[in-house]
Amino acid sequence: METMKSARKNDTEDVGSDLSEQIKAATKDSHVRAENTTLMLDYQKGKITLPQYKLLLCSLYEIYRALEEELDRNASHPAVAPIYFPQELARLQTLERDLEHFFGSEWRQRVIVPAATVRYQERIRRIGEESPDLLVAHAYTRYLGDLSGGQVLGKITQKSLGLSSKDGLSFFSFPGVSSPHRFKQLFRSRMNSIELTEGRREEMLREANTSFLLNIQVFDDLQKMLSVTTTEAEDQSEGDAVKSKNMFPSLPSMQFTVGVCVALTTVGLGFYAL
């Protein structure tokens, strides 16, 4: 769409036979759509709020839990082994740290996710069970994204939320990766070493687009959840919702309303075929 902005270079020309080039070209439009979701646009404008960030962390936690458990379980699969970099890339523990920072030691009871996150998680688990080679597409979408635009988003988060230290921002930090640029090159070359039939290669490109779509749906669902929670919080605290320690309204009746909305969205899951 011509009104959409993209921060990426024009890379449609000269797509070679390497999987890394093909996957980048095949997901170009999806990337633009992901960048132009309300959540990501808010990010780019430096308008990310604490409730947005906390909700995003909850969903990222569930997504990476599924992704990293499936990668671990399939670590010796011939397609997964070349791109298996738990030391350098694993995000699960960083997300646990960030969640504990914002929600306290009882954070596990406070993790709440929309239906789209559940669908994303289920997709990764099914891929891990039935077609582990396609985990490469999911690892590509998340990790290379985290090492690209994600690095800028980390700085924006710190500034937007006025955080003085790196506490709560572990997700964006990759101590095992000294140069994101060089590491991405390594990851791409490992992807290119994977042997794939033409059919599996096409399946991989399709799965990468599915992965982007799932991310887009998560961002859209998070915005819907927020439009319920922040409106109510604003009403209650005269526009001071962002400073609230608790992302959700404290009144039991409001918690119930939010719960019902989330439950309805989650039930909708059964009707949504990928």
**Residues 6+ positions from 112 with CB-CB distance below 8 Å:** 55, 58, 248, 262
DSSP result, 26-56: HTHHHHHHHHTSHHHHHHHTT---HHHHHHH
The window from 6-14, 120-128, 167-175, 199-207 that contacts ligand HEM (CB under 6 A) reads 6-14
Q: Which is nearer to ligand HEM, 7 or 263 (CB)?
A: 7
Q: Which is nearer to ligand HEM, 114 or 149 (CB)?
A: 149
Type of residue at 17:
S
Q: Which is nearer to ligand HEM, 220 or 234 (CB)?
A: 220
140 marked as part of a ligand binding site: yes
Q: Which is nearer to ligand HEM, 226 or 233 (CB)?
A: 226
Separation of alpha carbons 194 and 215, rounded Å: 25
- Rule CB under 6 A: is residue 140 a binding residue for ligand HEM? yes
- Rule CB under 6 A: is residue 145 a binding residue for ligand HEM? yes
Q: Tell whether the torsion through CA atoms of 207, 208, 212 and 215 is positive or negative.
A: positive
Q: Which is nearer to ligand HEM, 24 or 54 (CB)?
A: 24
**Residues 6+ positions from 150 with CB-CB distance below 8 Å:** 172
Identify the CA nearest to 137 among candidates 205, 59, 61. 205
Q: Which residue has the tokens 């449609």?
A: 12
Which residue among 2, 3, 9, 197 contacts ligand HEM (CB under 6 A)?
A: 9
Type of residue at 236:
Q
Q: Which is nearer to ligand HEM, 4 or 267 (CB)?
A: 4
73 marked as part of a ligand binding site: no
Least separation, in Å, of the C-beta of 237 and ligand HEM?
A: 29
Which residue among 34, 134, 194, 242 contacts ligand HEM (CB under 6 A)?
A: 34
| Residue 204 Cα distances to 110, 194, 200, 234, angstroms | 35, 11, 6, 44
Burial of 113 (0-12, 13-18, 19+ CB in 10 A): buried
Which residue among 215, 217, 244, 265 contacts ligand HEM (CB under 6 A)?
A: 215
- Rule CB under 6 A: is residue 180 a binding residue for ligand HEM? no
Least separation, in Å, of the C-beta of 21 and ligand HEM?
A: 8
* C-alpha gyration radius of the chain: 19
184 marked as part of a ligand binding site: no
The window from 33-41, 62-70, 253-261, 264-272 that contacts ligand HEM (CB under 6 A) reads 33-41
> Which residues contact ligand HEM (rule: CB under 6 A)?
7-9, 24, 31, 34-35, 40, 43-44, 140-141, 144-145, 148-149, 212, 215
- What residue numbers does the annotated binding site for heme b cover? 24, 31, 140, 188
